Amino acid sequence: MSVPAQSTKVLMIHEAGLHARPSVKFTKLAKRFGAAIEISAQEEGPWIDAKSIVKVMATRIPKGTMLHIRATGEDAGEAIAALSALVEQDFEDETVEGGA
């Protein structure tokens, strides 16, 4: 019997969107949890694996996107809380990567 997915949504406020360094942080954090975690830029999907930086980068989520996060598994609740906090805190006030 499958465990119902838990989900939340959080506004991307990082200047560069879900870009290189934010993606590194996001996927590293996601990998700490046993739960299957997926993200999407729309409520109806498509959903992509939040633990794969290649897939997260390929989605190219810009600033101002409402990021949907859903997770299934034992620590799904904690995973969602931790990941949405990371986005809300703007990836710990990381400075924007310049173009140079």
Partner 1 sequence: MIAPEHLRGMPASPGLADGPIFVLAEMFADERAAGTPEDERAALKGAIAEASTGIADLMGQSGEEGAAILEFQLAMLEDDALAEPAYEMIAAGASALAGWRAAMDAQITGFETADDDYFRARAADLADIRDRVTAILTGSAAQTVPPGSVVAGEDITPSRFLQTDWSRGGAIVLGDGSPSSHVAILARARGVPMVTGIGKADFASHRRALVDGGTGNVVLSPDGEAEARYRERCRIDAAQRHLAEAHLLKPAVLADGERVQVMVNIAAPEDVDAIDIASCDGVGLMRSEFLFHGETALPDEKAQYLAYRKVLEWASGKPVTIRTLDAGGDKPVQGLTVEEANPFLGLRGIRLSLTRPDVFKSQLRALARAAVYGDLKVMLPMVTVPEEIDEAARLLDGCLAELIGEGVPAKRPQLGIMIEVPAVAILPERFARAAFFSIGSNDLSQYVTAAARDSSAVARLNTAGDPAVLHLIAHVAGEAKRLGIPLSLCGDAGSDPVLLPALLSAGLRTLSVAPTALGRVKSAISQIRP
Piece in contact with partner 1 (CB under 8 A), picked from 3-11, 34-42, 48-56, 83-91: 48-56
- By CB under 8 A, residue 13 contacts partner 1: no
Catalytic residue among 19, 51, 68, 70: 19
Q: Which is nearer to partner 1, 28 or 45 (CB)?
A: 28
55 is a site residue for partner 1 (CB under 8 A): yes
Q: Can you say how many angstroms the Cα of residue 3 is from the centroid of all Cα atoms in its chain?
A: 21
Residue 38's DSSP bridge partners are 49, 70
**What torsion, rounded to 10 degrees, do the Cα atoms 23, 31, 82, 99 define?**
-10
Residues forming a β-bridge with 67? 10
Q: Which is nearer to partner 1, 9 or 21 (CB)?
A: 21
Pairing state of beta strands 48-49 and 66-72? unpaired
Sign of CA dihedral 88, 91, 92, 98: negative
Segment interacting with partner 1 (CB under 8 A) among 1-9, 54-62, 64-72, 78-86:
54-62
- Look up 19 and say whether it is catalytic: yes
CB of 62 to partner 1, least distance (A): 6
> Catalytic positions, please?
19
